[in-house]
Amino acid sequence: MPVVTIRPPTFRLLAGLAITLLAVGVYAGYTIFQLRSLRELQTRTIDRNRTDTLLLLRMQNGLNSLALTMRDMVDSEEPYPLTAWQPQFQRIRGDLEDVLTREEKFSLADRTPGQRRYLTESFRQFWDALDRVFDLTRSGQNEEARTRIRMSLQARQASLSTAVSRLLIANNESEQAAAARTRELYSGAERNVYIFLAAMMVVIVLTSLYLVQYNRGLFKRVATLSERRSELAQQLISIQESTFRSISLELHDDIGQILTAIGVMLQRTDRKAGDLMEIREIVQTTLEKVRSLSHALHPMVLDEEGLESAVDAYLPAFEKQTGIEVRYEKTGEGHNLDRELSIHLYRVMQEALNNVARHSNSRSAAVRLSFLPEAVVLEVQDQGIGFQGKPTHGLGLVSMRERVELVNGTIEFTSGEFTNGEGVGALVRVTVPRAREAADART
CATH of 300-442, one of 3.30.565.10, 3.30.70.100, 2.40.50.140, 3.40.50.300: 3.30.565.10
Question: What is the per-residue pLDDT for 184?
Answer: 80
One digit per residue, the tens of pLDDT, for the chain of length 443 reads: 344 455 666 776 677 677 777 777 777 777 777 667 766 666 666 777 788 888 889 989 998 998 888 888 887 666 677 888 888 889 998 998 888 888 877 775 566 777 778 888 888 898 999 899 888 888 888 888 888 888 888 888 898 899 888 888 887 887 788 778 777 877 777 787 788 778 878 878 887 887 788 778 777 877 777 666 666 666 666 666 666 666 665 555 556 566 666 666 666 665 555 566 666 676 667 766 666 665 555 566 677 778 888 888 888 888 888 899 999 999 888 777 888 888 888 889 888 998 898 888 888 999 999 999 889 999 999 888 877 665 555 667 877 888 888 888 999 988 875 544 455 688 999 999 986 544 443 44
User: Number of helices (H) and strands (E), helices first, in the chain?
Assistant: 13, 5
Question: What is the per-residue pLDDT for 188?
Answer: 76
Helices 48-74 + 154-249 axis angle, to 10: 170
Question: What is the per-residue pLDDT for 305?
Answer: 77
Q: Which residues contact 385 (CB under 8 A, 6 or more apart)?
A: 359, 360, 361, 362, 423, 424
Question: What is the per-residue pLDDT for 438?
Answer: 40
3-state secondary structure (DSSP) of residue 248? helix
Interatomic CA distance for residues 294 and 249, integer angstroms = 7
Query: What is the greatest pairwise CA distance in the chain?
Result: 185
In order of 93, 136, 144, 161, the CA distances from 70 in angstroms are 13, 15, 14, 14
pTM greater than 0.85 (yes/no): no
Of 275, 374, 358, the closest CA to residue 318 belongs to 358
Q: Determine contact, residues 262/283, Cβ cutoff 8 Å.
A: yes
Dihedral (CA of 221, 437, 310, 367) sign:
positive
Question: What is the per-residue pLDDT for 428?
Answer: 92
Q: Which residues pair with 382 in a beta bridge?
A: 365
Interatomic CA distance for residues 196 and 200, integer angstroms = 6
Query: Following DSSP, what letter does each residue of 88-146 receive, concatenated?
Result: HHHHHHHHHHHHHHHHHHHS-TTS-HHHHHHHHHHHHHHHHHHHHHHHHHHTT-HHHHH
Interatomic CA distance for residues 64 and 72, integer angstroms = 13
Question: What is the per-residue pLDDT for 369?
Answer: 92
Interatomic CA distance for residues 129 and 283, integer angstroms = 153
Question: What is the per-residue pLDDT for 297?
Answer: 59
